[in-house]
A = this chain, B = another copy of it.
Amino acid sequence: MRKEPERTADTVQPRVIVLAEAGGRYQSLLQPPASVRLRSGCVVLNPGESVGEHSTEHHEELLVILEGQGEVWTESFPPMAIDAHHLAYVPPHSRHDVRNTGTAPLRYIYLVSLAE
């Protein structure tokens, strides 16, 4: 008989997630119940577009920039320029926004993790 994995939550399993080809608008990568708490997605912004101002609330957030150029604005701080092969960190309780300031699509992965 095949040995069953010793897990309490059998929805939370190791998995590989394949990033969609560039061109889509948004791809959900990971969220409960596939994870315990971690959420991740891939966002594509066209030139001039922004995600829209919102708060990290009780979470901290890390962005991994895949392609394009933009800026991350966080309340009370100067805008931060982002480029391919940059990461951007946004602390909890931070109003923030991400804007494409370039001439090509801005594509990034975000990861949101409970901080408290």
Residues of A within 8 A of B (CB): 3-7, 12-19, 29-30, 34-38, 40, 60, 62, 64, 72, 74, 76-77, 80-82, 85-92, 94, 96, 109, 111, 113-116
Contacts and interface: CB of A to CB of B under 8 A. Distances in A.
Contact of A111 (B36, B92, B111): B111
A96 to B, nearest CB: 7
A33 to B, nearest CB: 11
B6 A76 contact: yes
Q: Say how many copies of this protein the assembly contains.
A: 2
A94 B6 CA distance: 10
Contact of A85 (B18, B72, B82, B88): B18
Nearest to A90: B14
